[in-house]
Amino acid sequence: MTAPSAARIAVVSSGFAASTGRRVADHAAGRGHDVRFVDDVEDAAALRAALRDADAVVLVPKRGDPVRHTEHATRLLLAEAAARPAPPHLVLLSSFAVGHGPAHPLNRTAAALLPARIAAERALRSGPAPYTIVRPTWMTDDPPGSHALTLTQDPRTDGMISRADLAAAMIAAVEEPSARGTTFALFNEPGEPLADWAAAFTGLRRDTEDADADPHREELS
């Protein structure tokens, strides 16, 4: 895929060198984008400076407190985005486990985890900014482009995804307008690496057309 014109991308994530957020930032920089990194979403001055003229913001929530790092962080970004004449595109890293509901083991690791993720997703869908919600499956450290990559809107999907391919998908979602307004999971499988991101995103249903984008909105209301 040929890189488009450079975008100004703020990545909000843990500053840990091997974090998924750092991988996203490194991939974006490798694609020629202007990357700003925000380690503390609650540092209002740093956040405002990073978003001042940003075209896109990628949120990779820190581990620990899901209400603070996922739901609250998403609302802070939306508030900053709403203050701009042209809100940046917000890309949220969520989880495939959201589609499986409360019974999934990942959703039972902390009582607040699933409700916080669902609240963050809902806030984006009803918010003022263009958005993309990415739900990775189980993450691996496989090298980039080692496998084929499938994007799916099956809420019960499962599988494995390399962090490198996940980072590529999140930046591709920034680059490709057809990724906006979608919620999708993704996983690797045997085969050739994905070469046409535009076609992959175009094949997804927009959330405004998809009554099942948030399959558990009633049971956790």
Note the pLDDT of residue 219: 45
pLDDT interval class at 4 (50, 70, 90): low
Task: Determine the angle formed by the axes of helices 73-82 and 113-125, rounding to 10 degrees.
Answer: 10
pLDDT at 186 > cutoff 60: yes
Note the pLDDT of residue 208: 72
The stretch 118-130 carries a mean pLDDT of 96
For 30, the enclosing helix (H) or strand (E) is: helix 20-30
Q: Convert the pLDDT of each residue in 92-113 to its tens digit.
A: 999 999 999 999 999 999 999 9
Rounded Cα distance, 79 and 163, in Å? 29
Give the residue with greater pLDDT, 216 vs 158: 158
Q: Convert the pLDDT of each residue in 143-176 to its tens digit.
A: 988 999 999 999 999 999 999 999 999 999 999 9
DSSP state of 202: H
Q: How many CB atoms lie within 10 A of CB 46?
A: 17
Rounded Cα distance, 94 and 137, in Å? 10
For 51, the enclosing helix (H) or strand (E) is: helix 44-51
pLDDT at 216 > cutoff 80: no
Largest CA distance in the chain: 45
Do 98 and 135 form a contact (C-beta atoms < 8 A)? Answer: yes
Note the pLDDT of residue 3: 53
